[in-house]
Structures are given as structure tokens and as C-alpha cells.
Structure 1
Amino acid sequence: MINIQLHNDCPATDTIVPNQFIDRFMPSANGEFVKVYLYLLRCIHSHASNCTISEIADKFNNTEMDIQRALRYWQKEGLLSLEETADGKLCGIGLLPFPEDSTDTEEASSSPAPSAVSPKETPASAAGETFCASQPVNLPQEPQIRHYTLDEIAEFQKNPDIQEMLFVVETYIRHPFSENDINTILFWHEDLHFSAELIVYLVEYCVSKGHTNLRYLNKVALAWHEKKITSVEQAKSEAAVRSKAYYAVMKAFGITGRNLIDSETAMIRKWTKEYAFDLSLIQEACARTISSTGQSSFSYADSILTSWYNDKVHSLEDVKRLDATHQQKKKERAAVKANAAASPKKNNFNNFESRENDYKSLEAMLLNSPIRS
């Protein structure tokens, strides 16, 4: 028999959040991770089949790395399946049925086993739904925080350096450690291989920026680990460059009374690290952005700096040369346009060859000719 394809032409305006997600998974999850999962639910219910990691990051003013962490978290919890290409790039996201709960035996025994769903199929069934990413994205593996037993923690605290480190960190964050806090700090020491001095500086640096939440501190620690920062000197150098660049951009854009969001700081990192632009070039791009748009548009400034990067600009002198070349081309285009406007249009009247008569001589000839009677 011929398969009948079912489709829904009614616009979806509501997103249904399963009670199991609210009761079992949401309380223990990071709030940012919850946002990502709810957004995927919304996309599925509105029949959106394509997106990119960068689009989701922009939606919540997060970095792409934050979105990737959220996806890996829900994959670990068994709520998502991440489909990858042969070279390890993300090409699809599948929403899975909720794992069986041992306390819910009746539902577990009555529910059928989930069947496999092809990435090309998108039926809204209990077997799960597929959400395809239109742009492949690499998902680098991130170290996971290990949960130590109380005996293992007590063994660590026998080390005087670790004991002193924990005391200093607890003093900085101004609240007693929870078990998760200690696991996070030991994760920095044992898995990220941060020295006690580097961990103390990490906490000191974040507290000076007004952040004492261990989740925020862990994000900074992971970022330093990705940049292969292993000493206090490297961390100070990174912080100095970052703080100087951020302050310069905020001043150029006239930003006061708020901190930069993740997408804005990511652009600044690209300008200073990937493009290797000095602050004078970045400030010039910001000034031109304000002049052209009247607002502090990071995306507009990014388009200017990306154009300069593609044109091999390295200094303000290079910018001046580009401006001169642009102005010269602009004048040439204007001259061509003016010449085209001044030249007569070709038509039948202009193509007619006019007579070349000397009217004065004709007039004299007529006056001098005898009048015949």
C-alpha cells in the first residue's frame, strides 16, 4: 500500500512542556541549559527544522561554547541525541523520550520500547523528534566534574597546599562550601591541572569582577583551560589584554552602567586574538560605527573590522590608503555618471544631418536680385 504522509497546516502557537521534564530534570539543571532545551521544544512544535548553533547563542546572548555545553548536558541526561557527520561535526539534534524512572514502575512497564527514528524523519511521536542543524559545528569534548566521596575529600585535605587553597577560596566567596563546591575546585586542581596559586588567582580575579558563583568561576576555568593557561603569569597577561580591550571598546561606544554580554565579548576576542588588531584600529571602527548608525552596534563594527582583515589592514595608515582608494573610485564613478548625463541621447532627430546654409548671404542675394514685373 502507498504510505500517506500526514502534515499540519495550522500554525503552532503553543509549546507543551512535559511534566516529567519539570519534575525530574529542571530542578537540578543549570538555568541556561533549561533555556536551550525549552527553545528546542519550541522549534519542534513550530515545525522549524533548521537552525545553527550561532543562532541559538545569539537568541540567548550566550557563546556558542555555552550552547554546546547545554547540548552535551541534555545528551548525558538522555533527553537529546546528537547526530554527527563522519568528520565529527554536528548535523542533527534529536529529542528523545524521557528515560524510565525507577519510581514510576507502572508507566515503565506499560510504555513501549522507543523505536529508532531516521534523521530524515520528523514524526511527532513518542520515539522522538529530529531537529537538524543547517551548519555543521564541532563539539569538542569537555572535561566532566567528578564527584568525590567524603573519604576522598578528607584525603585531599591532608595536603597542606590544598587545605590552604580551600580556606582562601572559601574566604573569598564568603559562604561555606557545599559538596558540589569542593568537587568543582578539586576538578580544577586534578582534571584541569591548575596549581593552587592559579586557582586562588582565578577566584580573586572573578571576585574582583563581582562574581562569586562557582558556576561562573567554572566557566572561566574552562576558558583558561581551552587557552592552555597553566600559570598565574599567563592568566594575568590574558586578563590585562582582555580588560584593556573591553574598556577601550566600552569607552568608544559610550557604554556605561552595564557589563558586556557574551556575544559582545566574543567579538572583542575575535578582533584582538583572531584578527590581531591593535586598539587604535578597533576604536576607529567603533567611531565609524557611531558615525554611520548613531548607536553602539557590535555587528556593524564587526563588519568593518572583518572587511579590513580581508583587505590585509594592519594599521591606521592602511585604513587611510583604503579610504583614499575608495574616494578615488567614487570620483571616477561620479565622473562617468556625469559624462553619461551630459552626452546627447541618440534618437532620430539627433541623427538627422542639418543643412549648413549661410543665411546672411541668402538674404543679400534676395535683396539685390531685380524685381520682375
Structure 2
Amino acid sequence: MNITISTEKKETFSEISNNFIDYYMADANGDFVKVYLYLVRLYSCGRPVSVSDIADYFQCTDKDVCRAIRYWISQGILSFTYDTKGAITGIILKNIEAPVKIHDDEELDFAVSMLEEDKNVEEKKDNVRSIDRHNISEVDHISGGVEEEEVSVPEKKKLNAKDINNKLTDEAFRDIMGQAEAYFNRELAQSDVNMLIYIFDELKLPVDVIEYLLEHCATIGKTKASYVEKVAIDWYGKGFKNREEAKTYTDSFNSLYRRIFKELGIANRVVPTPSEIKFIKVWQSEFGFDEEMIAAACSRAIISRPNSASFAYVNTILDRWRKEGIKTPKDVEISDEKYTRSKKKAAGSETRLGTFGNYKQSSTDDEWDELTEMYIKEVNNK
């Protein structure tokens, strides 16, 4: 049953961008969303407020509020204002634009056709194709790791009706089309057929690899022709000779994603966002942690921050472990034991501090003054 939303107009309202709701809200931590909505509310009433005021309102810490603000700054929908000495004086609610839409092949073909009267049309087609194939950001490593560097691949030929009709007489290709329709759960568009011909004839991926490609993309809910083609190009560059090689490759990535989601209690999501993927790449490539250590950090994060265990917070844990030379679960245990012993030694002095002696300092408090961190990053990027 459908329902209609209405209002009695007896209450005041804050205006929330539809783009925020459509493109940013779903992927954000719930507490981060609450902080953003409260900032909008504060703007509508024009009242100055401090970080502590916001923290008191939500009964959380100043650091929790700062973490939320920093997240929205990283998403490009908030920014700071400064005085002449570089001190933070305010927060700007920025105009929220819809993310740039990535054209699929049908839209791309239409755009190219609009250039037909231009004397340089062939050069412009090549440029558009090049952008589509190599420079679209974040296709997203979700395939099991589409690499960002450009891969030398066969040029995609422009097909006419005769070419396509001839190809449809190929029994092996018709079988691939049938599987694509089954996996995509829809009738194939012309862009899908062109994509399959390119993969079959130009990339020449083995048939069992193509079959697994279609299965894999359908499993993660990415069945647009442009996406499937991008993954196929990546697999072509990696030289997969059979289904087993491709499956081993994707499983190594998807297993880690699923493990992270499970540890952080993230449900109803199959793949990470582009910003989350960047964190994971840093943890693996730059920090050098394996799946077990990343999972341990996620578990530690959800215990410490059950309502706000974000990827950014996991990053602080792994960064600290890296700096302290902690590389294995055993190293974590040893570090925890040292921390416990140091707390016991300080227990006597804590009892003489009155109310504030009950404050339990986290192992990352001395490393994260988050508002200062935001300030430094913002100033350095100005």
C-alpha cells in the first residue's frame, strides 16, 4: 500500500538537500547523519554553538562530534571558515551536488552521435572512449580489484547492423548472450550486445572466464555494460586463463570485504564505497596488514565505539599499530598487557583525582585531537 506524506504546517522546518538524502545519507554512519542534521537545524535558527554543546545534546564526546564533522568535510559537503590568524571560526554547509553520472554505453553512443557533423568527430570519439575505458574513477576495485593504472587493450570497434547480425550466427556467442540475460535478469540492450562482442572477439577472454565474469558482476549487483566491460579489461590485463584463476582473485578481495562488514556490523551491503576501498588499500599496501589484523582492528573498533565504528576509526587503530611495530595478533596481546599493567600502576593516583579520576583514557586519546587534525588538513589543502 502506498502512503502520502503531508504536513499540518504548524511546525517550523529545516531544509535538507535532496541530494544529501539521495547520495550521501545511506552510506554514512547513523551518528554522523544526526550531527549533520543538527548542524542544519542550528543554521536555521542562527544560534552560535560549540562542539561541546553538540556533544552534550547527543550525550556523546567532543571527539565523536569532531569525527562526524571531519567525515562530512571529507565528503565535500562541509568546510571551515577561518579568522586572519588561521583559527577556525565556523562551519559552512556547502551546496550539495549530485555525483557526476558515469555514462553507460548507450548514453555514450548517443553523445558521440551528436558530434557527427564536427570535422574532428573521429578524434573526439576516441577521446570519449578513452575516458570511458580508463579514467572513470572507482569501478571500483569491487570487481576484486580493478586497478587504476591504464592497461593496453585492443581498441573497441564500432559495429554496424551487419557485423552484429553476423555475430549472432555464432552458436558459442549466442550461448554467452543467453547466460548474460539469465544473470542480468533482463533482456539485453544494444550496449550489452556490443560489450559482449568486444569481450568475446577483441579481448578474447576464455569462455569459462566470460561466464564467471557475468556471474560475478551479477552477484555484486553490477550489471551495467560499462561496468562489466571495465572488469573484463582488468581481467584481460591480468591474463586469466581459466575460471579458477579469476575466482581465486575475486575471492581474495571479496572475502576481506565480507569479513570487515561482519566485524563492523554492517548489514545489507555487498560492496564497500569508493572511500572505504581507499582505506582498505592503505591498510593492505601502505600499512602491510593482512586480513586477520584488519579484522582484529575492526573488532576492536566496534567494542570501543559500538555506535560509531567507522572505517576512519579503524584506520586510527591500524595506524597506531603500524607506528608501534604491532604486526601480529600476538603483538596486540603483548601491547594490551603492557597497557593493562600501566593502568594498574596508575590506579592509586586516579583515586585521588575525584570525579575525573574515573575517566578511562583510551589508547588512542593521546594521538587524536580530531578538531586540530581537521584544521591542519583543511589549512594544508587550501
Question: What's the TM-score once normalised by structure 2's chain length?
Answer: 0.45
Structure whose alpha-carbon radius of gyration is higher: 1
Question: What TM-score, normalized by structure 1, do the two folds share?
Answer: 0.46
* More RCO (CA 8 Å, sep 6+): 2
- Structure with a larger share of its residues in helix: 2
